[in-house]
Structure 1
Amino acid sequence: MSDVVIKVENLSKAYQIGQIGTGTISRDLERFWITKVRGKEDPFLKIGETNDRSTKGGSDIVWSLKDINIDINQGDAVGIIGKNGAGKSTLLKLLSRVTSPTTGEIKVKGRIASLLEVGTGFHPELSGRENIYLNGAILGMRKNEITRKLDEIIDFSGVERYVDTPVKRYSSGMYVRLAFAVAAHLESEILIVDEVLAVGDAEFQKKCLGKMGDISKGEGRTVLFVSHNMLAVKSLCNTGIALKNGYIQKTGSIESVIDSYLSNASIIAQSFVSIEREVEGFTLHSINVSNNGIEGSFNIENDLIIDVAVSSEKDFEGININLFFNTIEGTLIFATCSDSIYFKKGFATYQCTIPGYTLNDNIYSIDLMVVKHGAKILHNIKEVISVEGVEVKRDGSWLEKFPGLIRPQTFEWKKIDTNG
């Protein structure tokens, strides 16, 4: 059809985990001969496995995406949802030509502006103003076209005071503000936005969602939006794609895709997740949830114990570990933060206790963030782990599911005698 602006056919992306290469020179040469010289399929990809991070697996090749087929029409606002590791960011990187597919084909009509990570497309030594012109030039715009949009971009970003400062001195929030303003205002036919908007404050996130809505509904441009916030996705998007372990789980109207995703959410409850992620020498190893409940869930009347295992190659001052509790739809319920930590080189586990009868019999996802000096984000992992609350016993007359997102039992009730 003529209004299809993105056509994806049999798209797959494989990654090799662990060592680079196949392990021996002879196998590497054989692989080169078969794929590069003879132009045949890579035989080592045949042993690739589904990208399920909860299982160890027996192959060092995993399929981040497998057999993806989608058509996206002009003016569509497409929400892409799924757990961490489902393949969402990989799909956006392939569409943005940041990386190449292992197999399959992508056909795109029009220019793409992408906002995939904080600072995507920015040169750290250049000022904000210079990076606006750099991004416009990458999109193929002329200088006078960029100049015409310049004041609008700077005003939307809210960083006018620092627009002539090198962006390497920007906070992550300032980075995102300017990067989104550039991507949204320069004249591309397709806008691709990953979860980076979560770094900005609530007011700016609302502003961005409004702008993306204008781009899609008002200007007829195409928007692809990845987010864990189901309410934001539902408010912006008209169609959806749900991914699971690199495969398409469902496509269709955004309401049907979200309903399908949430109906299967109970299967994601976990008690331990290995992370193994390092930034600036500070490594997150794992998060573990324990509670005297039933397997895969927690008993809401008992304390919920959360252990975060970390290590460091050097001493750190002013480290804070933050946990954010969200509904499965992505609504933040509450956050808790450790005191400022002077972290000495080595390994440690930090424990947070959520008292019993704080949470209700719902499914919750937990985000994990590590911040240095109260400003610089070292780690920010969405939906690092999910837990499901279960009420084992209840006193009182109400026997159905108790309403509400949380379940505090600390409110006092008493009878006031009014008869004299």
Structure 2
Amino acid sequence: MSDKPVISVENLGKAYFLGKAADKHATFADVLVGAAKGAVRRFTDRVADASKSSDAYWAVRNASFDVNRGEVLGLVGRNGAGKSTMLKMLSRITEPTEGRAVIRGRVASLLEVGTGFHPELTGRENIFLNGAILGMRRTEITRKFDEIVAFSEVEQFLDTPVKRYSSGMYVRLAFAVAAHLDPEVLIVDEVLAVGDATFQKKCLGKMGDVMRAGRTVLFVSHNMDAVTNLCTHVVLVNKGKVSDRLHPEDGVKQYLATTAEGMGVPLSQKQRTQYKPRPAVFTDLKIETETGHDRVLHTGGRVRFDIELSDCQDIKAATVGLAISDNRGKRVALFHSMYHSGLWIRGAQSGRMTLEVPSLPLTPGNYYVELVMADDQGYIDRVERADKLDIVFGDMLGTGKIPSASQSVVVLPAHWDIAGGLDRAAASDIPGEVGGVQAYQGGSDVKAGGAIAMNAIPAAV
């Protein structure tokens, strides 16, 4: 077995020339003839032109890294950072402007929902078509056909044209074909976000099986839990620049730091996701709490969100959601206008929405607020890091203690009782109690009587 890396990337870069269109009338024969007459000269000229041109936009520049056999490398970064461009170059879909990449082994890539599918063909026919595109022999596809269908969960619609499939059905079938190719290298972009939670878990499990079989995986995701749990290393892509290989936890922290860079930017100017370009809908957000400090809330405290909306007069029926995510980008709470109040909105030139949360029982930590407006087409306006919210200790259970963030995400009221001969322990026997008085509250170590008492219940729980 070769000791060489399965993937070697050396000074890889991709430049796009703003405002310049490609030759739409060039035929495949023209390309071949042109390649034969001076590919090296044109490549050199193209790199020189890109380096000098003020119109050149470098989506990726000077990227270098290696991936060894059996590793799962996560590419993390904000939208538009260059992650997908990198994967397209490695998948031979996009030609690099400079540098080179060497991949040793058969590659299966899943970069967009339904890549290689023909809308008029059935699911059954597209399995054979997509498998052939990915390099599978017909006998190999036939042998794995039942396994692919079972994994995709589309048996009932197997002989239906895929143009009638939902986006979730598309991605399930496309992933099933790619994953069962048994590639040496599996390249997966953020398409798994389309599937439901159960299927995402199945896909992550399949990628784990691929890794344990000695395969190599390149994985792009905004799900930081998946990145941390699945990846052996992480590369941070930020504004076209690529970091060194990082430990997953370090890579996630650096990524989250880049997403927090725009906290001081007005909401109307923050990066957002929209299914079609439009002016910003969410233009201002104010957070009021009982602590007297904006964006600071006690565990279990009341919080009010005042949301300003603009330029949405064309919207006929939409829902609005406010989500709260932890430092790893995982949602821990969602407040939805339809779920909580049966409310759909019709747009106007300007307006305001108010969300009242009587109790937000999150454990102490730093959280981020996400705003989403959506209709049946997708995200009208979505701002992932609209604002931040810091949760501090609050005695919502009345015992002076609450679980720590490592023990739970939320703090929920409950009542314990004892019977059958058990009795309540004496205060003097309880660690952290001095003369029956609690020695510690809050989030820092406080010495009392020469001992350090713990705010949370024992860590072993």
TM-score, normalization by structure 2:
0.69
Give 1:363's match in structure 2, choosing from 358, 367, 370: 367
Give the 3-state SS of the residue equivalent to 1:213 in structure 2: helix
Give 2:355's match in structure 1, choosing from 349, 353, 356: 353
Cα deviation code 1:248-275 (max 9, x no counterpart): 2341332343344456664342542456
**Quick check: 1:290 aligned with 2:294?**
no
1:223 deviation in Å?
A: 0.9
Pairing of 1:382-397 with structure 2 (within 5 A): 384-390=384-390
**Structure 1 residues 238 and 89, CA gap change in structure 2 (3 angstroms):** same
In structure 2, how many angstroms separate the alpha carbons of the residues matched to 1:347 and 1:175?
Answer: 37
1:118 deviation in Å?
A: 2.2
In structure 2, how many angstroms separate the alpha carbons of the residues matched to 1:243 and 1:75?
Answer: 22
1:350 deviation in Å?
A: 6.4
Give 2:45's match in structure 1, choosing from 25, 29, 39: 39
Structure 1 residues without counterparts, runs of 5 or longer = 23-34, 49-59, 413-420
Supply the AA of the counterpart residue of 2:389: G
8 Å contact 1:67–1:247 — kept in the other structure?
Answer: yes
1:137 deviation in Å?
A: 0.8
Supply the AA of the counterpart residue of 1:324: A
**Quick check: 1:87 aligned with 2:82?**
yes
Supply the AA of the counterpart residue of 1:155: A
**Structure 1 residues 44 and 290, CA gap change in structure 2 (3 angstroms):** farther
Q: Which has the larger radius of gyration?
A: 2
Give the 3-state SS of the residue equivalent to 2:246 in structure 1: strand
8 Å contact 2:80–2:239 — kept in the other structure?
Answer: yes
In structure 1, how many angstroms separate the alpha carbons of the residues matched to 2:351 and 2:145?
Answer: 48
8 Å contact 2:109–2:187 — kept in the other structure?
Answer: yes
**Structure 1 residues 388 and 8, CA gap change in structure 2 (3 angstroms):** same
Give 1:254's match in structure 2, choosing from 248, 272, 284: 248
Give the 3-state SS of the residue equivalent to 2:6 in structure 1: strand
State the percentage of identical aligned residues.
40
1:205 deviation in Å?
A: 1.2
1:366 deviation in Å?
A: 2.4
Supply the AA of the counterpart residue of 1:290: K
1:188 deviation in Å?
A: 2.2
**Quick check: 1:336 aligned with 2:335?**
yes
**Structure 1 residues 331 and 44, CA gap change in structure 2 (3 angstroms):** closer
Give the 3-state SS of the residue equivalent to 2:12 in structure 1: strand
**Structure 1 residues 221 and 347, CA gap change in structure 2 (3 angstroms):** farther
In structure 2, how many angstroms separate the alpha carbons of the residues matched to 1:183 and 1:118?
Answer: 12
Cα deviation code 1:317-362 (max 9, x no counterpart): 5x33444332121322122333464757x85666453658747651
Task: Give the structure 2 partner of residue 168 of structure 1.
Answer: 163
Supply the AA of the counterpart residue of 1:41: V
1:175 deviation in Å?
A: 1.5
**Structure 1 residues 308 and 249, CA gap change in structure 2 (3 angstroms):** farther
**Structure 1 residues 147 and 206, CA gap change in structure 2 (3 angstroms):** same
Task: Give the structure 2 partner of residue 243 of structure 1.
Answer: 237
Task: Give the structure 1 partner of residue 62 of structure 2.
Answer: 67
1:389 deviation in Å?
A: 2.2
**Structure 1 residues 68 and 156, CA gap change in structure 2 (3 angstroms):** same
Q: CA RMSD in A?
A: 4.0
Give the 3-state SS of the residue equivalent to 1:62 in structure 2: strand
**Quick check: 1:130 aligned with 2:125?**
yes
Task: Give the structure 2 partner of residue 195 of structure 1.
Answer: 190
Pairing of 1:134-149 with structure 2 (within 5 A): 134-149=129-144
1:393 deviation in Å?
A: 12
Give the 3-state SS of the residue equivalent to 1:101 in structure 2: coil
In structure 2, how many angstroms separate the alpha carbons of the residues matched to 1:402 and 1:62?
Answer: 49
Supply the AA of the counterpart residue of 1:289: L
**Structure 1 residues 153 and 238, CA gap change in structure 2 (3 angstroms):** same
Supply the AA of the counterpart residue of 1:363: Y
Supply the AA of the counterpart residue of 2:184: E
In structure 1, how many angstroms separate the alpha carbons of the residues matched to 2:277 and 2:209?
Answer: 41
Instruction: Judge which range, 304-313 or 332-341, deviates more.
Output: 304-313
1:406 deviation in Å?
A: 7.6
**Structure 1 residues 395 and 170, CA gap change in structure 2 (3 angstroms):** closer
Structure 2 residues without counterparts, runs of 5 or longer = 23-40, 415-461
In structure 2, how many angstroms separate the alpha carbons of the residues matched to 1:348 and 1:42?
Answer: 49
Supply the AA of the counterpart residue of 1:303: R
**Structure 1 residues 64 and 355, CA gap change in structure 2 (3 angstroms):** farther
**Structure 1 residues 3 and 371, CA gap change in structure 2 (3 angstroms):** farther
In structure 2, how many angstroms separate the alpha carbons of the residues matched to 1:77 and 1:38?
Answer: 34
Supply the AA of the counterpart residue of 2:82: G
Cα deviation code 1:84-103 (max 9, x no counterpart): 22222221222122222222
8 Å contact 1:300–1:357 — kept in the other structure?
Answer: no
Cα deviation code 1:363-413 (max 9, x no counterpart): 3152636231xxx535696x63253224799999x99x99559899x989x
Give the 3-state SS of the residue equivalent to 1:285 in structure 2: coil
In structure 1, how many angstroms separate the alpha carbons of the residues matched to 2:297 and 2:128?
Answer: 54
Count of matched residue positions in the alignment of Structure 1 and Structure 2: 376
In structure 1, how many angstroms separate the alpha carbons of the residues matched to 2:333 and 2:130?
Answer: 37
Supply the AA of the counterpart residue of 1:4: P
**Structure 1 residues 276 and 197, CA gap change in structure 2 (3 angstroms):** closer
Task: Give the structure 1 partner of residue 224 of structure 2.
Answer: 230
Give the 3-state SS of the residue equivalent to 1:117 in structure 2: coil
In structure 1, how many angstroms separate the alpha carbons of the residues matched to 2:46 and 2:183?
Answer: 36
In structure 1, how many angstroms separate the alpha carbons of the residues matched to 2:216 and 2:381?
Answer: 28
**Structure 1 residues 63 and 214, CA gap change in structure 2 (3 angstroms):** same
User: Which structure's residues are more often strand, by fraction?
Assistant: 1
